[in-house]
Amino acid sequence: MSTSEDPYAPEGDPRLLPVPLSTTSVWQQSVALDPLISNSTTPLPESADIVVVGGGLCGALLAWELLQRTSGNVVLLEARELASGASGRNAGHCRPDAGRGFGMFANVHGEEQARAILNSERTVFERVDRFIHKHKIECEWQKRETYDVCLTEDFAAYSQQANDAFAQAGGHPPAPLGREGAQKAARSQSAVEAYGWEAATLNPAELTLAIHKLCKDTERYDAFTFCPVLGLTPGVNPDVLIRPDPDVESREATDPAETPGCAGWTVATARGSVRARKVVLATNGYTDSVMPMGIVPVQAQAHLLSSPTPHLDSSYSLRRSMKEFYSVAPRPDGTVVLGVSRLGWPEELLRQAVGNVDDSTWNATIAAQGLNAISDVWPNGPWKHAKPGDLHPPPAGGSIKTATERKEVEVDGLECAWTGIIGITNDLVPVVGPVPGKDNLFVAAGYNGHGMARIFVTAPALATRIASGKWREEDGMPECFRLTPERFASLTADLSPSAKPSPAA
């Protein structure tokens, strides 16, 4: 935090910056040879109209939406390679919540906002589908039926109650399939109940890189990689003043941060500094490395599993409870991406995961838990029960690459595994908007592991807010996502030096 002795000292926690070496997801492997992912040697420009920090899906889409709404240039800064964070490490699902989460969101934000949240997720799905087809993006996008599969009677009852409440609030949840229908849909006798609706699977790294390429084609965009942001300094002296904002001069500003000629920021990076009129943090779980926001980084883990016979046509969320579940996303080649929740992890691993930005290796205990769970649901599949000692994570910063290592893990149906860092907020929803008390600093982060169902409403909404100074209801973002002074105070209330989570890395 800044101190009275040095009001311009970096406010973020450098311990929360991305680690230099990381595991490599199956998605990152697919784009590893793309020349766009790494621009690590081109000198940084002295200034930019807007700097976006973070090269994942949110940063890429924010840059694109800003380029559509403003006439200036956009510079994007990424600590590692493009799509090296959560966007390149997730479970490959664009899966709107069809009703199950209604009660959880209603308890925190009220029924009206809970309904808005779920409706926005359907909007995101439709927008992603249109965007991919409009721009002819190849990213394994495949619309398919998805199922919430209830593996316990308790969760079946919970799901029924949540969906009924959503319907009473004016929503349109899917109908329960009944035990027989659930077992048919899940291809498993373990199913107690199930709900089905339309979702999609995709390669998120390919989508992210495609949007960066669209931005590059405007000739007003440059992305710089291996360029971690080390601090932000407000431009309060004449040396950092830059030309007036042409997009602000033509409208009535809504606050002093958006008046013509506002000084903006100097963005310090490991490769030099850039002066910018406006800065946008699209840094998700790494946000507090730059600016304290109360977004807690938490480790998550995903796995590529061998292809079953016959292939899975649908995707699944196999659930024992709201907090214990397994995400199952088939790929076009028949392999399956398995995501696992943290409930059920050993207590020591849970403690280590919170506040931890280390994605340099994966955990064999977690992988074995996931394999065992999916083997219980589909006992005839190629995935066999495993003990942690049967699996062999590579050294930090590595992935499963050699033939010997592949053979060791394929015995159990596991082809590779990786870790990613998600950003958790204390009120379950993203943090989007101007940062209170920080003129011309904006944020879109804290996706709570659900960014694929959020970013295509948050990025357009924030781009509109930055360009026009106003929120626009037509952008479809729920009001509870907005960062108000009151919400900012709540998010950051526990960020004293003693209370702030420290990374275990």
DSSP of 20-70: SS----HHHHHTTT-GGG---SSPPPSEEEEEEE--SHHHHHHHHHHHHH-
Give yes or no: residues 177 and 312 share one domain. Answer: yes
Give the pLDDT of residue 239.
43
**CB distance 22 to 252 below 8 Å:** no
**CB distance 477 to 457 below 8 Å:** yes
Give the pLDDT of residue 390.
76
Residue 417 lies in a domain: yes
Give yes or no: residues 210 and 256 share one domain. Answer: yes
CA distance 475 to 466: 13
Residue after which a domain boundary falls, among 421, 440, 474 = 421
Neighbours of 402 (CB within 10 A): 10
Task: Give the pair of three-digit tokens for residue 130.
Answer: 């249109």
Which stretch of DSSP H or E encloses residue 340?
strand 336-340
CA distance 165 to 173: 9
CA distance 376 to 385: 8
CA distance 279 to 262: 12
CA distance 287 to 441: 13
Give yes or no: residues 194 and 230 share one domain. Answer: no
Nearest residue to 357 (alpha-carbon basis) of 416, 427, 287, 291: 287
Give yes or no: residues 233 and 330 share one domain. Answer: no
Give yes or no: residues 307 and 347 share one domain. Answer: yes
Give yes or no: residues 304 and 325 share one domain. Answer: yes
Give yes or no: residues 358 and 465 share one domain. Answer: no
- Tens place of pLDDT for every residue, the chain, 505 residues? 333 344 445 689 999 999 999 999 999 999 999 988 888 999 999 999 999 999 999 999 999 999 999 999 999 999 999 999 999 999 999 999 999 999 999 999 999 999 999 999 999 999 999 999 999 999 999 999 999 999 999 999 999 999 999 999 999 999 999 999 999 999 999 999 999 999 999 999 999 999 999 999 999 999 999 999 999 999 844 343 344 444 544 444 444 334 444 579 999 999 999 999 999 999 999 999 999 999 999 999 999 999 998 999 999 999 999 999 999 999 999 999 999 998 878 899 999 999 999 999 999 999 999 999 999 999 998 888 888 877 777 666 555 443 334 444 444 689 999 999 999 999 999 999 999 999 999 999 999 999 999 999 999 999 999 999 999 999 999 999 999 999 999 999 977 443 444 333 3
Q: Could you tell me the residue range of the domain that residue 399 belongs to?
A: 143-199+297-421
Give the three-state DSSP class for 350.
helix
Chain centre distance of CA 51: 20
**CB distance 406 to 415 below 8 Å:** yes
- Enter the DSSP assignment of 238: G
Residue 334 lies in a domain: yes
For the chain, the straight-line distance linking the first and the last C-alpha, in angstroms and rounded, comes to 21
User: In the chain, how many domains are there?
Assistant: 2
Give the three-state DSSP class for 123.
helix
CA distance 296 to 40: 28
Residue after which a domain boundary falls, among 395, 421, 447 = 421
Task: Give the pair of three-digit tokens for residue 64.
Answer: 């694109």
Residue 256 lies in a domain: yes
The residues near 308 (Cβ < 8 Å, ≥ 6 apart) are 334, 336, 378, 381, 382, 383
CA distance 436 to 419: 32
| Angle (nearest 5°) at CA 134 between 130 and 138 | 95
Looking up tokens 């080649």 gives 333
Task: Give the pair of three-digit tokens for residue 257.
Answer: 């941060």
CA distance 425 to 273: 30
CA distances from 135 to 139, 186, 190, 456 (A): 11, 34, 41, 15
The pTM score is 0.91
CA distance 392 to 476: 45
Give yes or no: residues 377 and 354 share one domain. Answer: yes
Residue after which a domain boundary falls, among 380, 405, 421 = 421
Indicate which CATH number applies to the domain containing 453: 3.50.50.60
Give the pLDDT of residue 262.
54
Give yes or no: residues 364 and 440 share one domain. Answer: no
β-pairing, 296-305 vs 272-281, is unpaired
Give yes or no: residues 183 and 303 share one domain. Answer: yes
DSSP 313-327: -SEEEEESSSS-EEE
**CB distance 34 to 55 below 8 Å:** no
Indicate which CATH number applies to the domain containing 332: 3.30.9.10
Q: Report the amino acid identity of residue 212.
A: H
Give yes or no: residues 408 and 311 share one domain. Answer: yes
Give yes or no: residues 310 and 190 share one domain. Answer: yes
CA distance 10 to 82: 24
